[in-house]
Structure 1
Amino acid sequence: MAVFTKITPSEAAALIGRWNAGRFESLEPIATGIENTNYVINTDAGRWVLTVFEKLTDESLPFYLSLMEHLAQHGCRVASPLRTVNGDLFEHFGSKPCILCGYLPGEDGRRVSQKGCASMGETLARMHLAVSDFRLSLDNPRGLVWWIKTIPVILPRIPESLRPDLAHELQAQIALQGSPDWKSLPAGACHCDLFRNNAKLADVGTAQERVTGVFDFFFAGCVPFVYDLAVTMNDWCSDPATGAFRPELTSAFLSAYNAVRPLSGLERKMWRGALCAAAFRFWVSRLTDFYMPREAELLHPLDPEEFHRVLRDRQTCALPWPEGEGL
């Protein structure tokens, strides 16, 4: 979503002709994010988002794009790739794969409310139910294997004061995710990065506030659903200044999720471990982006300390049900 690949208006006009998306009018770079290049494309048929993939390959894309299409076909409010005039899920700009999705209405979810959290909880639960018949599989690209590989690389570059916490939680997660309970959790293809800036909401600040769509599935993978829930709630329901959960937001989110897909006893038992895993994933990735940045126009690495605070809170915070017990 940073601008790694520059596209001129004439290049965009030629590229857009590969989809039935209307006649090109203008393009606007999207500045947020750190992985892919995104532009808003305006045509006489509407607004679109063009994504150029900087790391993902032709071989890896079908999982992500098929998941988006599958969720949309099952009635979930998600961005879905427009098929090309040849019926393909993606095209190329030069040597890089690219897709075109419809522009989702509304504003991003940076302003958080109980209504917005409840709508996101319901939306996420429906996404988890919808993948029961999704047959493609991919390991979490930012999961335990990636942590074990990445942490030794970044360790010499980060402040010495952070190293004990990093090593402690890595060992805790190796033990947790190797346990029979973790391996028995209900799982499937999940977004794995459903932060507020990866969703759009309409009527923000009113009684009708609701999620209109979810996008940016390019860290998706097959994980326990409770881990995906933890990733999402760690962002949507936390106080950024302290890392602590905001109780009113947490309650709204969990209640709405449970009304659609009730959590099992095992999922509740593993809730703290899932919360810590989700916080650790983003602490490690932000440390990597901060201390080993890539060059890009408009690139703004995010503060890793935010998720260090979240991790410390989740290691000891109160849970909404008895510690280690399912209901």
Structure 2
Amino acid sequence: MSVFTTVSEADLQPFLKRYALGTLVELKGIAAGVTNTNYFVTTTHGRYVLTLFETLMADELDYYVKLMAHLAHHGIAVAAPIANFDDQYVDELNGRPTLLVNCLPGVVVDHPNAGQCGEVGEMLAQMHLAANSYSGHMDNPRGPHWWTHTAAEVYGFMPAEEAAQLHDEVLFQAEWSRNALPRGVIHADLFRDNVLMNGDHVGGFIDFYYACNDTLLYDVAITLNDWCVTGNGDIDPERARAFLAAYQSVRPLTDSERTAWPAMLRAAALRFWVSRLFDFHKPASGEMTFAKDPGHFQRVLLCHRQRTDFWL
């Protein structure tokens, strides 16, 4: 994520003495995203990712950190948290709650192929099943209530026609119920930049700090909307079919999920259109931050509203 809080080598060296990770070799900021501060930390023992949380407090991290440990325990490719000598995952650095995790193999793939999309779909389904036994619970803080109230904060910044489109979609989403759909733990932000691909296989899922309990289908829609999208906001059908077939080879969708699928694709696009509008018009301050294009998910949403083939 972006660097909001500066960490120097002088800051980090005494911090690392609380861990069995050796001595510092290199510290490098990660300039992507909009929420937390991330650094690559290379030591004499290996390479790690250091996260400083800019909005979450230490007592709010329990759900996410224990979820990551739970998934790693069940063989899901995630960055496992590392405990310090006091057996605590969450530490503190420069006044921020801090976490160290293993650096997973692989790289972010900007232009995935159908096979890679299938690998992500299969691992996402396995993650959903593995999380069934996780005892933590966190209601989605960015669900329909959030996007309704956040949209109201940005209407005034938008051209009238676009504000009307946004308002119309918020009303549409309020008119149907998700209560009958299977629920569980979801990643809620499984974009390409939150997956490391080790060749054509998943090296790991990262950045679980939007994870929560919600409808599993919503997670599927969020992931497909990024992994299978084209430059104009449409969805590549070959990648979409590969992704969905692989997901369903592990966890077949129910009849109620199939019925809800077109509306859920729109809900997933709406959520990120709203968040990007808010970040664009009301940005947080940071040293290496950038706001992503809100129009991208507006285009994704408009394509979903017009489509008739949903790849199932």
The normalised TM-score by structure 1 is 0.93
SS at match of 1:83: coil
- Percentage of identical aligned residues: 39
Q: Distance in 2 between matches of 1:9 and 1:82?
A: 20
Q: Distance in 2 between matches of 1:162 and 1:131?
A: 38
Alignment of 1:25-44 (within 5 A): 25-44=25-44
Name the structure 2 match of 1:243: 233
SS at match of 1:77: coil
Name the structure 2 match of 1:305: 295
Deviations 1:21-56 (A, max 9, x none): 221122000001100000000100000000000001
When the two chains are superposed, the root-mean-square deviation of aligned CA atoms in Å is 1.2
> What one-letter code is carried by the residue in structure 2 that aligns with 1:144?
P
Contact 2:18 2:85 in 1 (8 A): yes
TM superposition shift of 1:321 = 6.4
Q: Distance in 1 between matches of 2:290 and 2:277?
A: 13
The number of aligned residues is: 312
> What one-letter code is carried by the residue in structure 2 that aligns with 1:266?
S
Alignment counterpart, residue 204 of structure 2, candidates 194, 213, 217: 213
Name the structure 2 match of 1:230: 221
Name the structure 2 match of 1:188: 184
Q: Distance in 2 between matches of 1:8 and 1:142?
A: 33
Deviations 1:71-129 (A, max 9, x none): 11111011121112111121011331010011111111212101110110111000011
Name the structure 2 match of 1:65: 65
Q: Distance in 2 between matches of 1:200 and 1:66?
A: 21
Matched, 1:199 2:195: yes
Name the structure 2 match of 1:264: 254
Deviations 1:185-223 (A, max 9, x none): 1111110000000010112xxxxx111100001111111
> What one-letter code is carried by the residue in structure 2 that aligns with 1:197?
D
Q: Distance in 2 between matches of 1:274 and 1:21?
A: 43
Contact 2:195 2:206 in 1 (8 A): yes
Q: Distance in 2 between matches of 1:59 and 1:314?
A: 39
Contact 1:276 1:315 in 2 (8 A): yes
Q: Distance in 2 between matches of 1:118 and 1:27?
A: 34
Question: Structure 1 segments of 4 or more deviating over 4 A?
Answer: none
Contact 2:36 2:53 in 1 (8 A): yes
Name the structure 1 match of 2:145: 145
Contact 1:268 1:321 in 2 (8 A): no
Structure 2: which 5+ runs fail to align?
none
SS at match of 1:81: coil
